[in-house]
Amino acid sequence: AGIRTLCILADSREISSGPEVISYLKMSLGVKVEVCSLGGCDYIVSSRLAVERKSQSEFANSANRSKLVDRIQHLQHLFDRVCLIIEKDRIKQGETSRTFQRTRYYDSTLSALISAGVQVLFSSSQEETAGLLKELGLLEQRKNTGIDVPTEVKGHKQEVMQFYLSIPNISYITALNLCQRFDSIRQMANSSVQVISARAHVSAQKAEELYRYVHYMFEAEMVA
Amino acid sequence: MAGIECTPVRAGASSVPCGHAIGSEKWRGTELARLLQGKIKLVFEDGLGLVDFHLSNRTCILYISESDLVSGNAFRRRLVRFRKACNLNGIVIAEKTRLSDQYYPPVQNFVVLELGMALLPVTNQNEAAQLIFNLVQERSREGNSNPFMRKKCFQLPDASLLQTVQKIPGVGKVKALQLLQHFPSIHKLSNASVAQLETVVGRTIALSIHSFFTQ
């Protein structure tokens, strides 16, 4: 243990919004970064942990409230653990640093996040964010929840991935675990809650949710 | 068990009524206490040990000042003792100023990643008062009003199921419906033989569905 390279999944949109985060992770920190379309999630650091990255100004702007709520709620449904990194805005050349005005909205949002069990981290730059992502990944590795499946999906497996991703509340990493750790969809569908939980690296509760979906009896009247 | 000195919680201090907070005696007369008193009911008590403030609902505040941060590791021992002594939710508030800024990242790694506690930066006692006020408000809110809480959704999965079946190559909405009417769950559909599938769809599609599930 410990020798395995750390692997982190990054959403393709992060290439434009956080290019330095990804390059620091790859170049300076030696982390394997797989860029994929994660659909509503910035980084996946382990089988159960999603990390959302927000600039301080974006986070502090109350006009973004409903967007933030939707996003975090979405992540809470998909992952056992959710972490939010609030990153200081980059100061462009020639711009003097603006003093950040702390508002009531800012404090009440932080309070609500903490009380909902969301982990909140503060970063002063994209470089520091990369360091935090690595630390989070190492911690998850020590808890044996790190990403240790092949992240590349080829041929027939791509279609299988799309099938798993269409299941409600299944994250990209869970779909990947299902895809790589079961020989076939049939094998997964015939598995018990315990086996699904162990192979897909999900909580018993999540595994049971999936089991119920697989065994749910369709009624055409419900979609008419 | 832990001696009196190690007990961070005075008996009863964990059940603080709504809109109240219990503050350690050492905060009496401070700027922070003065600012809080106008907004919440703050009661001072002796012998809170490691804790600076008890909020309602098993939550308490441990405060790290600018000079604590700058002057070394004494506060680390305090936090570790707190973590070992009780299972209350500890929120650490730290004064992150121009002077203490450089000490913040390692402290964050220690508090959040190693100890698993929450750490929130403020620049002065004024900001701390505002933050503690909001934390008290949050704790006394009705259970369902936190928008970030995990909510159970009681959506029937029929529509999703129809979507999922359409992810099988060669299966559109019409075939998905026909398939689900004969094999009403993913479990049944994935276990259907080619011959069984052929009663619903053509041989080519039946073969491709079968191989999709078994490959």
Is the whole-model pTM more than 0.90? yes
Q: Which of B127, B151, B157 sits opposite A168 (nearest CB)?
A: B157
pLDDT tens column, B23-37: 999 999 999 999 999
Question: Phi and psi dihedrals of A208, rounded to 5?
Answer: -70, -40
Count CB-CB contacts under 10 A for residue B96.
Answer: 24
Angle between helices B173-182 and B158-165 (to 10 degrees): 110
- Where does the pLDDT of residue A97 fall: very low under 50, low under 70, confident under 90, or very high at 90 and above? low
CB proximity under 8 Å: A 119-138 to B: 119-122, 124, 128, 131, 135-136
Q: Which domains are delineated in chain B?
A: 2-147 (3.40.50.10130), 159-214 (1.10.150.20)
* Long-range contacts of the stretch A26-30 (C-beta < 8 A, 24+): A28/A127, A28/A130, A29/A130, A29/A131, A29/A134, A30/A5, A30/A6
Q: Hey, are the CB atoms on A218 and B185 less than 8 Å from each other?
A: yes
Residue B103 has pLDDT above 60, yes or no: yes
- Chain A positions in Cβ-Cβ contact with residue B149 (cut-off 8 Å): 76, 116
Among the residue ranges A9-23, A181-195, B15-29, B201-215, the one predicted with the least confidence is B15-29
Nearest-CA distance A217 → chain B (Å): 5
pLDDT tens column, A19-57: 999 999 999 999 999 999 998 899 999 999 999 999 999
- Chain A positions in Cβ-Cβ contact with residue B159 (cut-off 8 Å): 222-223
Q: Hey, are the CB atoms on B161 and A216 less than 8 Å from each other?
A: yes
Q: Hey, are the CB atoms on B212 and A116 less than 8 Å from each other?
A: no
As a whole number of angstroms, the distance between CA B49 and CA B68 comes to 17
Q: In what order do the strands lie in the sheet with B20-24?
A: B41-45, B20-24, B53-55, B59-64, B89-95, B118-122
pLDDT tens column, B121-165: 999 999 999 999 999 988 777 666 888 987 766 678 999 999 999
Q: What is the ipTM of this complex?
A: 0.90
The pairing of beta strand B53-55 with beta strand B20-24: antiparallel
Q: Hey, are the CB atoms on B151 and A107 less than 8 Å from each other?
A: no
CB proximity under 8 Å: A 6-35 to B: none
